[in-house]
Amino acid sequence: MELVDLYDEERRPLGRTAPRFSKREKGEWRLIAHLCIFDSRGRLLLQKRSVGKRVWPGKWDVSAAGGVSAGETTREAAARELEEELGLSAQAPHLRSVCTVTFNHAFDDYFILKRDVDLRNLRLQEEEVSAVRWATRQQVLDLIRKDEFVPYSENFLGYLFDMARNMDFQNK
Rounded to whole angstroms, the Cα distance separating 122 from 6 reads 33
| Per-residue model confidence as pLDDT tens for the chain (172 residues) | 789 999 999 999 999 999 988 888 889 999 999 999 999 999 999 999 999 998 899 999 999 999 999 999 999 999 999 999 999 998 877 788 999 999 889 999 999 999 999 999 999 999 999 999 999 999 999 999 999 999 999 999 999 999 999 887 665 5
Sign of CA dihedral 61, 35, 63, 20: negative
Tell me, what's the pLDDT at 168?
74
Q: Tell me if residue 97 falls in helix, strand or coil.
A: strand
Sign of CA dihedral 29, 31, 32, 37: positive
Tell me, what's the pLDDT at 86?
97
Tell me, what's the pLDDT at 170?
64
CA torsion, points 130, 135, 139, 143, in degrees to nearest 10? 20
CA distances, 9 to each of 37, 74, 107 (Å): 29, 17, 9
Rounded to whole angstroms, the Cα distance separating 25 from 15 reads 15
Tell me, what's the pLDDT at 172?
52
Contact 20, 3 (CB under 8 A): yes
Contact 68, 154 (CB under 8 A): no
Tell me, what's the pLDDT at 54?
87
Domain covering 32-97+112-165 assigned CATH 3.60.21.10 in the classification: no
